[in-house]
Amino acid sequence: EQLEEMVEERTKELQDAQVRLIQSEKLAATGRLAVSVAHEINNPLQGIGNYLSLISQQVAEDDSLHENLEMVKLGFERISEIVRRLRAFHRPVGEGMESTDINGVVERALALVGYQLSLGQVEVKTELAEQKLPVLGSAGQLEQVLVNLALNAQEAMPGGGVLMVRTTLRQAMVQVQVSDTGRGIGEEEMSRLFKPFYGGEGGQGLGLGLWISHNIIEGHGGSIEVESQVGEGSTFTISLPAYQRER
């Protein structure tokens, strides 16, 4: 009987090792593909950037198109940063950090996905701290995390719903809470939520969004946690060390 238990335990260890190996190979292949795709995208992207700059010079600030053009520029800058990170896939998360107001990060991220959320009948609400909440981080990477969470929330609310984003300062930690009124997350799904290549129930894409988001937040010295009730919704809580400039 003891021998059978040892065999079962060893078999499970080998199966787990095989799963990790497969995931590692998938990540390596994804990395090579990402670098290749980013290289192909970069050249036409630079052309778009040049024309965008030219158009910006021809549109006055009081023109009705100016605000829309600024949103296009924000989207272009985010795509450019993603391409840069893909081309440097081997570099660690968290490079190029500086003092960043988390409220501004939230506002820019929601502006980027606002139109898409409205198409999905998602009502966006915010409760942002009145004071600035600086963290030491990469604004672009943190925006990517919030965009991922917002779009995941939309997927969890196929018939529409409410997306609430709150920011606060608690015990020297800046917190961002992203809540939805979606279908919620079951226990089995919860245990695999931040693993690579797991898209969740009804998920689309490669299943890398939450895994990348988790790595970004950890690279910023923070944490990301989730609470969920099936049929009622989910709340993702990001905690980051508050940044105080040395005097």
The tokens of 48 are what? 């778009």
Q: Domain spans of the chain?
A: 2-87, 98-241
Q: How far apart are CA 47 and CA 52, in angstroms?
A: 9
Architecture of domain 98-241: 2-Layer Sandwich (3.30)
Can you give the pLDDT at residue 42?
A: 75
Can you give the pLDDT at residue 102?
A: 96
Among 210, 233, 71, residue whose Cα is nearest residue 160: 233
Sheet holding 161-170, edge to edge: 122-127, 161-170, 173-180, 233-241, 223-229
Among 66, 155, 165, residue whose Cα is nearest residue 107: 165
Question: Which amino acid belongs to residue 135?
Answer: V
Among 84, 147, 70, 85, residue whose Cα is nearest residue 116: 147
Architecture of domain 2-87: Orthogonal Bundle (1.10)
Q: How far apart are CA 97 and CA 220, in angstroms?
A: 9
pLDDT in tens, the chain (247 residues): 666 777 677 777 666 665 555 555 555 555 566 666 666 777 788 888 888 888 888 888 888 788 888 888 888 887 777 776 666 554 445 556 889 999 999 998 898 888 889 989 999 999 999 999 999 998 888 988 898 899 889 999 999 999 999 999 998 999 999 999 999 988 888 877 877 655 555 444 445 678 888 888 988 999 999 999 999 999 999 999 998 865 5
